[in-house]
Amino acid sequence: MIARRIIGTLAGFGFSTATILSVEKLGHLALGAPASPAEATTAMYLVVLVGWVLGAAVGGSIGSGISRWAGTAWIIAVLVALGVVASAFSFPDPWWLVAAGVVLPLLAAYLVTRSRPAEIPATP
């Protein structure tokens, strides 16, 4: 059971990262990439925020499906939120982006865990 949780968490984190990077790449294709963080527009920041939230939701959902443990979604969301905080130390992100980037992935985890039972029984 512990191996399933570890594999599910690692897979969920991988899907979360891939989702975040994909959304940001699509945002760069649609809106262009700023030459520096100071030149980013509100729309560009919103794309980043959408990536973080979708990353937490997709990674948490897939990870908890694999692990058969809804707690995986919380682990993924906390990792995304920690990434947001680390990003805030690296780039001059607006306060609202950092606040929403911490709260909304946690809300996504809550919604994922509400849609799944706390522990999905293994099939015989």
pLDDT tens digits along 62-94:
999 999 998 999 999 999 999 999 999 998 889
In a 10 Å sphere around its CB, with 0-12 CB exposed, 13-18 middle and 19+ buried, how is residue 61 labelled? buried
pLDDT, one tens digit per residue, over 21-64 is 999 999 999 999 988 888 999 999 999 999 999 999 999 999 99
- Helices and strands of the chain, counted as H and E runs: 4, 0
Q: Give phi and psi for 30, each to the nearest 5.
A: -80, -40
Global pTM value: 0.90
- The pair of structure tokens assigned to 81 is 């939120």
d(CA 54, CA 18): 10
Q: What is the largest CA-CA distance in the chain?
A: 56
| Length of the chain as a residue count | 124
pLDDT of residue 120: 54
